Amino acid sequence: MPITKVLLVDTTLREGEQTPGVNFTVDEKLEIARALDGIGVQMIEAGDPNVSDDVYQAVKLIANEGLSAEIIAHCRANVKDVERAISCDVNRVAIFLGVTDTKLKSMNLTEDEAVERIVKAIEYAKSHGVKVRFTAEDGTRARYDFLVRICREAVQAGADRISLPDTVGIMTPWRIQEFFERISKDVQGAEFDCHCHNDLGMAVANALAALEGGATGVHVTVNGIGERAGITSLETIAVALKVLYGIEVVKLDRLMWLSALVERLSGIVVPPHAPVVGENAFSHKGGVHVAAVLYDPSTYEAFPPELVGRKREIVVSKYSGKHAVKARLEALGIQLSDEELEKVVNAIKSRHDVRTYRDADLIEIAEKVTGVKLTPEVPSKVEAVILVKCEPNVYTTSIARRIASMKEVMEVYEVSGDYDIQVRVSAPTILDLNDCLERIRGIKGVSGTHTHFILKSLRPLQQSEQQTLKTS
């Protein structure tokens, strides 16, 4: 069925914090909640206030922040937990209970007892004027007749939303679409959420299929973080909804900023090949690809990078053809004849050990081919210390790692003070050092640099040398 309504339910502060190694402070949670609200996320799951005092404090602060988004507290299906969740002043409580036979056995609950527990918890929440979502944990693996029964009882008790998680990510798009089509007919009176885990890499596809099957809410996290392999990523599904269905659910031009914020606060680095926000998402390397993209970007781009505030990048390597090389050289202000361009391309393809050609490399090759000095003479071998300042919403370690991979870089330190990173660089020429500096400046999240040229290098005497001086 056509998708007519989509609500993003962001659970970065709950599911996302369950990522191994992630632990947001109260202030960081508040910052993330404000950011989510700022881009237009409709529902924010702020956490389970029964987990710890700091989670309780964060949920309560977020609920009282005056955000436009609906604030949700997650909790188990018992009155005590629901009561504490309600005391946070949230708009909604999300009451969860495992509904598979295995889960019920592990809790020593019969089906009747499980239904009774859910009904009692929901009725208590509703009696205090709070909206309720019932989460049937592991719903896609539950026995279907019991799933329908407990969902109907939840709706009758007052739940107006039902979340059906694919808890271990074993569904496929066609199966989950059929699943939501079926249950939305068998359980009336509530809207359905999908919560798709990414264990088999299908979270985004399954979420879209669930929406096509009748779900109206999709649970997401920024950068797809969460338990194990994470869940549906906010940025990927937001762009997919726009590109494939013409539905714009958030401010797409703010996705890179939001991704960088959560990358920094979570410590989970976004992979270069990640859709939408990955460093390589709009990079083109293959010769045929580049030629086609330069002619018409839609040939190899599902959507223009400008949609999310980004730019495309043409990468020059042994895979490059003359179109890519010509485009890059012209961007540097260098015009070559067809014969000269052919020689430059052949020179590039002859070096199998070079992964990527920098601008300085291309200029040097062009100089050799043309016999014309395209740049002024520069002194040989220069060293410098570069101080790098990062934007406040960026994970510093991810930038430090990228800088460390550059061949001119000798040492990298994350430091305190006005600058965040200190880099020691050694390059054959000032031109090469400047090229390295420009690449550092071009890294996403770098806001400024300050360069000190090394005039003289002194090393401390080794212990044996000190002893020699003493005895001489």
For the cut 70, the answer to whether the pLDDT of residue 287 exceeds it is yes
Residues 356, 406 contacting (CB under 8 angstroms): no
For the cut 60, the answer to whether the pLDDT of residue 302 exceeds it is yes
Q: What one-letter code names the amino acid at 240?
A: A
Lowest mean pLDDT of 70-79, 101-110, 157-166, 437-446, name the range: 437-446
Return the percent helix, strand and coil in the chain, to nearest 5.
Answer: 45, 20, 35
Q: ∠ CA 207-213-218 to the nearest 5 degrees?
A: 30
Mean pLDDT of the chain: 91
Determine if residue 211 is left, alpha or beta; phi over 0 gives left, psi from -120 to 50 gives alpha, anything else beta: alpha
Q: Which helix (H) or strand (E) holds 8?
A: strand 7-10
Q: In this predicted model, what pLDDT tens digit does every residue of 226-277 receive, in sequence order?
A: 999 999 999 999 999 999 999 999 999 999 999 999 998 999 999 999 999 9
Q: What one-letter code names the amino acid at 14?
A: R
Q: In this predicted model, what pLDDT tens digit does every residue of 442-456 receive, in sequence order?
A: 898 899 999 998 887
Q: What dihedral angle (degrees, nearest 10) is formed by the CA atoms of 358, 364, 366, 368?
A: -150
Q: In this predicted model, what pLDDT tens digit does every residue of 46-66 receive, in sequence order?
A: 999 999 999 999 999 999 999
Could you give the strand order of the β-sheet that contains 409-414, starting from the edge strand earlier in sequence? 409-414, 421-429, 380-390, 446-453
Given pLDDT bands bounded at 50, 70 and 90, which one contains residue 472? Answer: very low
Given pLDDT bands bounded at 50, 70 and 90, which one contains residue 348? Answer: confident
pLDDT of residue 458: 59
In residues, how long is the chain? 472
Tokens of 340: 């000269």
pLDDT of residue 294: 79
pLDDT of residue 457: 65
Tokens of 187: 């359980």
Q: In this predicted model, what pLDDT tens digit does every residue of 26-40 receive, in sequence order?
A: 999 999 999 999 999
Tokens of 14: 């709950």
Helix (H), strand (E), coil (C) string for 145-186? HHHHHHHHHHHHHCCCEEEEEECCCCCCHHHHHHHHHHHHHH
For the cut 90, the answer to whether the pLDDT of residue 286 exceeds it is no
Give the span between the Cα atoms of 355 and 337, in whole angstroms: 26
Q: How far is CA 329 from the centre of its chain?
A: 33
Q: Looking at the annotation, which residues are catalytic? A: 289
For the cut 80, the answer to whether the pLDDT of residue 358 exceeds it is no
